Structure 1
Amino acid sequence: MRSLLLSALCAASLSACAQAPTDAGDAADATAAEPVEQIQTQPGTPEDRARQAIESINPDIRIDAISASPLAGFQEVIVGGQALYVSDDGKYLLQGSLFDIKAKRDLSQAGVAEVRRRLLAAVPASERIVFAPASPRYTVSVFTDVECGYCRRLHQDIAEYNKRGIAVEYLAFPRMGIDTPDYRLMVSVWCAKDRRKALTDAKEGRNVPQATCENPVARHYELGQRVGLTGTPMIVTASGVSMPGYLPPDALLSALQEMDAVQPDAAGG
C-alpha cells in the first residue's frame, strides 16, 4: 500500500522524482538540482500533521501550499499542481477533485490556481520569450516545446493572438526531458542573440546554431512539473488558471473573456 501511495505522490509531483541536469555543460543551469526547500509549519497544528503525513510517504516531495480545506476536518495540500486532502489528525489522505454540488464548481482548482499564479509571478520577464501587442488586454504564460505539433500550431498563429490583444509569454518545457537533444535545442534557443527568431526557426524546423549560456530551461522544466503540466502547450492565465491544451486564437480569447466576466482580475499582465 505504501508503494502505491508513493507512486501516486510521484505522479502528483514529478519534480520530486525527476532527473536533474547531468551534463557538465549545463552547470550554469543546475538550479533544478538544488535541494528542495520544504514548507514551514507550526508544530502541533493540523498543517504540520498534514505535512508530516505527506513526507512520511515521500520525504523528497515538494509541498507548495497547505491550508484549511473546504472539506471540514481536512487540510488541502498542493503538490505538483494537484490538490490532496489530509485529515487534521494526519491519518487519512484523499486524492481527487472536491466538487461543490450546489455551486457546481471544482473547489480544488482555486488553491491550485493560486499556487500557479504565485510560482509563475516569480519568473522574471528576462527569462521569458515574449510575443505581445503594444497594449495587451490579456497575458498568458505558455509552457512550450519546440518539437510538439500543437506547440508549433500555436506559434504559427502568434500574430493572430496578438491581434486579439493576447500577449504570449513562453517558458521552456523540453518534453523529452533533461539532457536530451530536445533540451539542448531549447537551450540554444534561450541562448540565442535573437530568442524570438530562434524560437520561430526551431518550431519551423530551421537550423538554430548550437549555443550554451546561463539559462532557465531546466528551471522552467521543473516549474512546469510543479504547476501540474501534463502536456504541451500548457496555457496559464494571469490568475493561474490552466487552459485545456491548445486553443485557437478566437477560442482562447472567448475563454479569457468568459473568465474575465466571472473573475475580473484574470486580465492583465
Structure 2
Amino acid sequence: MHQLYKLAFAAILTLPTSWALAQTAQELAVKKMIEPRLGQGAKVDSVTKTPYSGLFEVRVGSDILYTDEKAKYLFIGRILDTKTYQDYTKTRVDELSKIKFSDLPLASAMKVVKGNGKRVIAVFEDPNCGYCKRFDKTLQEVDNITVYTFLYNILSEDSITKARDIWCSADRSKAWDNWMLNGKVAPAAAAGCTTPHEKILALGKKLKVTGTPTIFFVDGTRIPGAIDAQGLEAKLVTIK
C-alpha cells in the first residue's frame, strides 16, 4: 500500500451530512488521480465531493477516506460535528453497509423465537467465537425477539466440524445453546448430513462480514461485535 495510505487524520467540522451522489467530471478526475496513488491493486469504487472544506470522499470497499481536489493528500479518520459530536463518517459507512434484510436466506439459519418474537435480528456467528458466546448469553436477557443465527465458520477447521454437528442435530437451536452457553459438544453428525456452510461463507463475503458476531437488523443496519442487553434494546427501539 502506498505510504500516503498510512497517514493518520482526524477532522472536526460543523457541516451538513448529505451531498449529491452522482459522480461529476471533477469527481471522476479525482478518482483517476487518487486510485494509482493508493498502491498496486487498489480499486476506488467512487469519489464524491463533500461539504467538508473541499474534501472528496474516496470509497474503497466499505472504507471511507478523504482527499483534496488534486489528490495530493490522503486523509484517514473521522469527521465530527464540533457542536453535537455527530460522527458523519460513521453515518456514511453505516449507510453504505446497509443490506436488504428480506434478501437474507433465512432458511439457511437457525431460528429461535422468544415471547411474541416481533423484533427480529440475524446474527453471523462462529461456534469457536468467544464474543459470540458472550452475545448469546446476552440474548438470554432479551424477550420478544426472533433470532436467526447463520453459522459463519471462519475461525478454524474445527469451527466447520462443530457447526456441522450442531446443524445436523435433531434440535439445532438446543444443540447450539448447549455448546455456546454450557460448553456441551453436539453428537457427531451422520455421514450423509449436509450443511449450508459454503453458501453462508459466500453470503458473508458478499455482505462484507469480516468478524463474528455481526448483528443485522430489519432496517438493514448492522452492528459488528458483541453488545450488551441494554445496547441491543436501545438499538431495537430505534427500528420502526
Q: Name the TM tier (shorter chain).
A: 0.5 to 0.7
TM-score, L = length of structure 1: 0.62
CA deviations over 1:76-103 (Å, ceiling 9, x no partner):
2344543212334444321111111123
Residue 195 (structure 2) pairs with residue 218 (structure 1): no
Most deviating of 195-204 and 95-104: 195-204
Match of 1:181 among 143, 158, 161: 158
The answer as to whether partners of 2:31 and 2:44 remain within 8 angstroms in 1 is no
Q: Which structure is richer in relative contact order (CA contacts within 8 A, separation 6 or more)?
A: 1
Deviation of 1:43 after TM superposition, in Å, equals 8.6
Residue 94 (structure 2) pairs with residue 117 (structure 1): no
Deviation of 1:46 after TM superposition, in Å, equals 0.5
Deviation of 1:237 after TM superposition, in Å, equals 3.5
SS at match of 2:97: helix
Structure 1 unaligned segments of length 5 or more: list them. 9-40, 261-265
The answer as to whether partners of 2:125 and 2:213 remain within 8 angstroms in 1 is yes
The answer as to whether partners of 1:47 and 1:88 remain within 8 angstroms in 2 is no
> 1: CA distance between counterparts of 2:220 and 2:32?
23
Higher helix proportion (structure 1 or 2): 1
> 1: CA distance between counterparts of 2:25 and 2:48?
15
> 2: CA distance between counterparts of 1:66 and 1:238?
29
The answer as to whether partners of 1:78 and 1:111 remain within 8 angstroms in 2 is no
The answer as to whether partners of 1:171 and 1:220 remain within 8 angstroms in 2 is no
What is aligned with 2:86?
A: 105
The answer as to whether partners of 2:126 and 2:132 remain within 8 angstroms in 1 is yes
> 2: CA distance between counterparts of 1:236 and 1:64?
24
Alignment length, in residue pairs? 220
CA deviations over 1:30-72 (Å, ceiling 9, x no partner):
xxxxxxxxxxx96944146337624653564566665443424
Deviation of 1:242 after TM superposition, in Å, equals 4.5
What percent of counterpart residues are identical?
23
CA deviations over 1:173-219 (Å, ceiling 9, x no partner):
43425xx2224433555566754345334423412534544542322
> 1: CA distance between counterparts of 2:229 and 2:3?
43
Amino acid of the structure 1 residue aligned with 2:205: E
Deviation of 1:244 after TM superposition, in Å, equals 6.9
Match of 2:145 among 166, 173, 182: 166
| Aligned 1:83-98 pairs, distance under 5 A | 83-98=64-79
> 1: CA distance between counterparts of 2:52 and 2:100?
25
> 2: CA distance between counterparts of 1:189 and 1:64?
39
Deviation of 1:113 after TM superposition, in Å, equals 1.0
